[in-house]
A and B are shown apart, each in its own frame.
Chain A
């Protein structure tokens, strides 16, 4: 190793150490675990968290790792060949990307610390000194700290499973978690319930309370640490078979606009109905469903020519065609006016009355609440985990929360920074106690 290389290496070590000291103190100020300052790549991600630029930090870290790998290859094969030239060009391109992302992150940091943008030049040209100043000087204080929900103690759990019922849906979700970039996130926890057949259930919860996660866990689409049984049959272990007994209607009308109504429904029938059903039976079923959903008059129209209400009915009909026992709808009334929406919910009530289980998410529940039997209320607890704050009849829910409307309940459980009353923990705990008492 010659002297220049040795001095270069020493400088790099010194640079890493000085920046780490600066970061250590910045992390402490921001509420991030300071030891990350000494871990390459992780420290870049966490400075992004301090800067309130999580998305950029994520991309930066991935590109930094990639860049490092390419850099190593570049050093190993730096023989002037075409290959090393290509590697060098890629490395150079990645470095440009890194600079752009670093600028974004530092701009975020400057904003969080409420400083002037000219500090950006400090971070670019004299990074060591600037990070040291920001870390060590008590004058540099962030206006916003990094939230670490996992550090918060969650509300107590019941841990008592609901007994399996032979006719209906039994949900026992212990936990649904994901590992997301250095962090474990618990999305749902301790949800136990039995929904009998013939019930129409409202799924209520604020933004991020885990409504979609709950539905995906119940349908087996995204498996949780849970047991979900429909008529005593395990949805998770028999998913390949059970998925045909679960109809999920997404929020958007996901259909091909350039196909006709009848053909869209015929194809849905071919996909969802068992192969033992003959072509004539399928055609009969398609005609029945077209009549039932008031689409017979537009059967030869292109889907893109339908009105919002008709399109929504077709979307529901596509799932209904296979006569599923469990029927789930994610905001079926979005974009529909009050009268059309009411008509749609009355149709769903009729489906439930046929002995089906209908679970619906809607953001305007009060105009149709008389059609529902039960309500599931999901709320974010202190650790930002989706928890069950209520499951039971609608009238009892009003009494439980001391509110006379569903929107009032939603307001009570929503976090204060979302304009709510921030009483989620109180109701989750109260419901857990009630559930444990009833379960004995």
Chain B
């Protein structure tokens, strides 16, 4: 057979070849399982923290934090092993003319589709489990679509971080050892749920959880929600006696009889507003920009690190 050796399959056709491979694997291997898994996790979160999500400040903070963690968990599990488990195969294919950028691009596209599906599944589960979702749109004309975009970006960003780890790790054991450490880092340094010292605030910018949490809180109009923790605390203290009287109980009765409860809740909330969670498109855009930036960084690191695959020992 006469072979023209001057030109071979370019980057784009190679990407298509690998994309085909990945989607075949989705069917034949266990990759499809991430979809029902995301539904189960969303259901569990809804059961645990869904009642007050987007209803009260405390419930929203806790619920959006949990939601961001779910997205990160989904993203991590999607791709933490995808590259390292076939590292030797990639090395062989690289030797035969595989472009690493095509290979990573195929993974990026494939994973983005998975993340889109997972984000949609998460929202569907929240909807059917009667979680009150935001109704006021902020970016597009559909509030739920805005929410889906944020959930997708958080999931995808975590997915790309895991893809990077998978490209850096030589074995699946290494990748799976690193993963919990990254997860804990995301949870602790998100800066929203746990209070961090001022010096540690810059570190929060590198976490996906922070941008996810901030965007979700802004979209849920956190600052317009009532704060119930003060009222609840007072309710717990209703039987406290002072000189034979129960002033807290009296006050609660008075507030309820005069329909002042809502005002008190809103008044309490007004002292606890967080500027970063303003119902403002610029807040959401800022979060999305950060997430996109990290997505690009993770992809770039994955490509560069995998270019050195030839250095792997036999």
Contact = CB atoms under 8 A, between A and B. Distances in A.
Interface in A225-274: 241-245, 248, 250-252, 254-256, 258-259, 263, 267-268, 270-274
B184 to A, nearest CB: 14
Interface stretch (B7-15, B42-50, B58-66, B294-302): B7-15
Interface string A314-326: 0000010011000
A384 to B, nearest CB: 18
Interface in B79-117: 86, 88-89, 91-93, 95-98
Interface string A274-310: 1111000000010000000000000000100000000
A243 B96 contact: yes
A2 interface: no
B91 to A, nearest CB: 8
B289 interface: no
Contacts of A268: 96
B199 A271 contact: no
A3 interface: no
Contacts of B6: 241, 274
Interface string A330-342: 0000000000000
A251 B200 CA distance: 50
A146 B8 CA distance: 50
Interface stretch (B24-32, B158-166, B267-275): B24-32
A272 B96 contact: yes
A271 B93 contact: yes
B86 to A, nearest CB: 7
B1 A285 contact: yes
Given A271-B98, A274-B5, A302-B28, A255 B89 contact: yes
A88 to B, nearest CB: 14
Contacts, number: 89
Contacts of B197: 82
Given A81-B199, A221-B310, A276-B7, A256 B25 contact: yes
A271 B197 CA distance: 53
A137 interface: no
Nearest to B28: A258
A83 interface: yes
A85 to B, nearest CB: 9
Contacts of A319: 96
B42 to A, nearest CB: 28
B237 interface: no
Contact of B88 (A254, A273, A276): A254
A275 B8 contact: yes
B73 to A, nearest CB: 25
Contacts of A82: 197, 199-200
Contacts of B95: 221, 243, 248
> Which of A242, A245, A273, A323 gathers the greatest number of chain B CB atoms within 10 Å?
A273
Contacts of A276: 4, 7
Contacts of A242: 5
B96 A263 contact: no
Interface of B: 1, 3-10, 13-14, 17, 20-21, 24-25, 28-29, 86, 88-89, 91-93, 95-98, 197, 199-200, 310, 314
Given A256-B89, A270-B17, A273-B3, 8 more contacts: A81-B199, A83-B199, A254-B89, A268-B96, A270-B14, A271-B96, A272-B96, A302-B28
19 contacts: A81-B199, A82-B197, A212-B314, A221-B95, A250-B88, A254-B92, A255-B89, A256-B21, A256-B89, A258-B29, A270-B9, A271-B8, A271-B9, A272-B96, A274-B5, A274-B7, A275-B7, A276-B4, A323-B1
